[in-house]
Amino acid sequence: MSSRLVTRRRALLTGLAAISGLAVTRDWSDMPPTYGNILRMGDDLTYAAFRMLPRQRLVREYTLADISSFPAHGVIDLGAANAPQIVRDYRRLLDGRFADWRLSVEGRVATPRAFSLNELKQLPSRTQITRHVCEEGWSAIAQWTGVPLRTVLERAGILPTARSVVLYSYDDWLTSIDLSDALHPQTILAYGMNGRDLTIPHGAPVRLRLETQLGQKSLKYLQRIVVKDEFDDGGAKGEIQTGWAWYMGI
């Protein structure tokens, strides 16, 4: 009896030693920008754990009959009295029906360039009916049409050292995602919703659809995409300094 107990204890100790060995030798440099923040420690563990899951599997897609009503939050404030310059710029683009709109792709790419709305629409598109999940707790299903972010990054010649992508919006928000999510087949720059052009409340002319994270990361009113060699939380306007988690896969 006692020799069995010792064996169990030894098995447990060996297991613990193996786990700590893995933890010590693991490369922690790929941890997210919240690494070291005590409140976000759980999110970092979730990120590390989820990155061990099969990465390129597709999230569930639904049928046209599943399309539901869809609230719009974080709508651009066009009437703001002291609107920043970029919101005034957006207003001007809106008046010109987005003919002058450009999506700039820059940073760690071989050929930085700007895409017009028509150029994006001429790239191979993807249409998907997916479930949007808000951090608040509600959900909605819609059909999205757009060009995979992967295609746009490849057209600009993303460099092999790239590690993350920072996206900027016209209403002065930004978000950043790692390459695993950026290159996911369902991560698209959407210009169509439910078979029509994207409306202003949902992010016209182009918004990100990031189906593997919560809706908050699917930035509306896209303006600029910057490829980085390191994780970049975006500083003062990024999620961390505005009081949010960086990783929202849960």
Partner 1 sequence: MVLSGHAAAAGPFTGHALWVRISHWIVTASVLTLVFSGFEILMVHPRLYWGEVGNDLTPAWIELPISRNYKHDGWGTPVPFFDNAAGPVSASSTYEIFNQNGWGRSLHFLAAWGMLLPGATYLLIGVFSGHIRRFIWPRARELAPRHVWRDVVDHIYFQIPPASGGPQYGVLQKTSYALVIFVAAPMMLLSGLTMAPAFTGAFPALLDVFGGYQSARTIHFLTFVSLALFVCVHVVMVVASGFRRQIRGMTVGE
At residue 247, the 3 state secondary structure works out as coil
Nearer to partner 1, 119 or 197 (CB): 197
53 binds partner 1 (CB under 8 A): yes
The CA distance from 131 to 144, in Å, is 10
The CA distance from 17 to 172, in Å, is 48
Nearest to 37 by CA among 250, 239, 198: 239
Considering only residues 139, 154, 235, 241, which one is a binding residue for partner 1 as defined by CB under 8 A? 139
Q: Which stretch binds partner 1 (CB under 8 A): 70-78, 79-87, 115-123, 163-171?
A: 70-78
Structure token digits, residue 206: 């182009």
Nearer to partner 1, 105 or 141 (CB): 141
Q: For residue 57, which phi and psi values (nearest 5 degrees)? A: -65, 150
Residue where the block lists tokens 């295609």: 151
Q: Which stretch binds partner 1 (CB under 8 A): 121-129, 139-147, 158-166, 219-227?
A: 139-147
125 binds partner 1 (CB under 8 A): no
Structure token digits, residue 154: 């490849």
How many CA atoms within 13 Å lie on the side-chain side of 79?
1
43 binds partner 1 (CB under 8 A): yes
Nearer to partner 1, 95 or 136 (CB): 136
35 binds partner 1 (CB under 8 A): no
Considering only residues 83, 86, 129, 250, which one is a binding residue for partner 1 as defined by CB under 8 A? 250
At residue 82, the 3 state secondary structure works out as coil
Find the distance separating the first CA and the last CA of the chain, reported in whole Å: 45
Nearest to 63 by CA among 188, 210, 194: 194
Considering only residues 108, 126, 202, 224, which one is a binding residue for partner 1 as defined by CB under 8 A? 202
Considering only residues 117, 212, 221, 226, which one is a binding residue for partner 1 as defined by CB under 8 A? 212
Binding mask 88-117 for partner 1 (x = CB under 8 A): ------------------------------
DSSP for 171-225, written as a single string: TS-EEEEEHHHHT-TT-EEEEEETTEEPPGGGTSS-EEE-TTS-GGGS-SSEEEE
Give the interface with partner 1 as residue ranges (CB under 8 A): 5, 8, 11-12, 39-43, 45-46, 50, 53-55, 57-60, 62, 66-73, 75, 131, 133-142, 193-196, 199, 201-202, 211-214, 242-245, 249-250
